[in-house]
Amino acid sequence: MQRLTKENDGSFNTIHSFKNNENSLNNNENSFITNSYNTTTFNNTTVNDRSEILAWLSPLEPRMRHRDIGARRVDSIGAWVLESEEFCRWRNGSREDDGSYHPTLFCDGNPGVGKSYIVYEIIYCCGGLKSTIANEL
Amino acid sequence: MCAEAVEGDPIVACFYFDFAARNEQSPVNMLGSLLRQVVSGEGEIPEAIDGDFRKEKRVIGGKGLQVSGILKMFQTITATRRTFICVDALDECVPESRMVVLESLGQILQGSPNTRLFMTGRPHVRSEVEKELGGAATFLFIRATGDGVLRFLREKLRKDTAPTRMSITLERDIMKNIPAISSETYVRARPSGAPP
């Protein structure tokens, strides 16, 4: 049986032979064989464990909705929110600044005014492509 | 413009409420989804979460994740990291769950001073946000701008799958009347103090 380990760049290129799947919680050999190419070790947590832990935290996948909104958005819709003083203070301010800083910004609006597109823009603006949405397994 | 890249390596987690998925979007699943995104951005699964997972696995038919457990794990990671949480369509979360979600998000903000929360929703849920987070929240009314409506309509018409069925007169009427109606709706709905 073989195990692949993951390099820093994400590629699978080092193969080790082993007999026991010591780090995995899954002791069923048949099931292990099926998933063996996914077994990458990060310290004591394997990729199998990692996927299982993420699924345990929640079965929901907001990135699907995020991508759908991104595909339908029109450039610059809601850009005025990103330019607003309220947004800049919310994004860049800190609790030490003064008493007027609030960690929450709530935007209310009637149906169809583009609230979801604004959320999309703000996610991008706060995290860009480094957003965890883009990296989620 | 406030659109420059955020300094450092912030954590960004988001959630889009959808009334059609209200049964699946329980407070535990919603908050767990935020935590899942935070964890997945880390190189390794934090020890505290790995430990809780292993403990849970050992108990057959364990009680599963609880809101209190999620909040504890969340704060373990975000206590010192700059974190942005974005939640869309709060009004599409069922009222009973909404109160739990708002209270939980308030607790996350209290325990994680570097965390910021952005939310959207229809005007009728604003009072609930004020009640739960009022002292820690800024409110901004979103309206459709005339220019934004025009660009949106142009894009929709450009992507029309049956453009030959659209007469020039109808297209002209759409481009003239819909922005006017949108603007009128906005003026009627706009509270005092909202941006022009």
| Residues A66 and A129 occupy one common structural domain | yes
Selected for mutation to probe chain A from B30, B40, B102, B109 (highest A CB count within 10 Å) is B40
Q: What's the pLDDT band for A39 if we cut at 50, 70, 90? A: very low
For residue A76, is it left (φ>0), alpha (ψ between -120 and 50) or beta? Answer: left
Closest CA to B87 of B137, B160, B157: B137
Task: State which residues form the domain around A13.
Answer: 2-57
How much is the pLDDT for B157? 80
Dist. CA B40–CA A46, nearest whole Å: 14
Place of tokens 């029309």: B160
Selected for mutation to probe chain B from A6, A52, A60 (highest B CB count within 10 Å) is A60
Nearest CA in chain A to B102: A104
**CB-count burial class (<10 Å; 0-12, 13-18, 19+) for A93:** middle
| Residues A68 and A130 occupy one common structural domain | yes
| Residues A131 and A66 occupy one common structural domain | yes
Dist. CA B115–CA B8, nearest whole Å: 14
Residues composing chain B: 196
| Residues A35 and A98 occupy one common structural domain | no
Contact A107 B65 (CB under 8 A): no
Residue B50 CB coordination number (10 Å): 18
Contact A111 B33 (CB under 8 A): no
pLDDT (tens digit per residue) in B17-30: 999 999 999 999 99
Place of tokens 């780090």: A23
| Residues A7 and A67 occupy one common structural domain | no
pTM comes to 0.74
Query: Average pLDDT of each block of 10 consecutive residues along chain B (196 residues)?
Result: 66 94 96 93 85 82 83 89 94 96 95 93 96 90 78 79 83 81 49 42
A50 touches chain B (CB under 8 A): yes
How much is the pLDDT for B32? 96
Indicate the number of domains in chain A.
2
| Residues A47 and A77 occupy one common structural domain | no
How much is the pLDDT for B116? 94
**What does the domain layout of chain B look like in residue ranges?**
11-136, 146-189
| Residues A35 and A78 occupy one common structural domain | no
Model ipTM value: 0.79
| Residues A45 and A107 occupy one common structural domain | no
| Residues A84 and A114 occupy one common structural domain | yes
Cβ-contact B74, B35 below 8 angstroms:
yes
Dist. CA A31–CA B180, nearest whole Å: 62
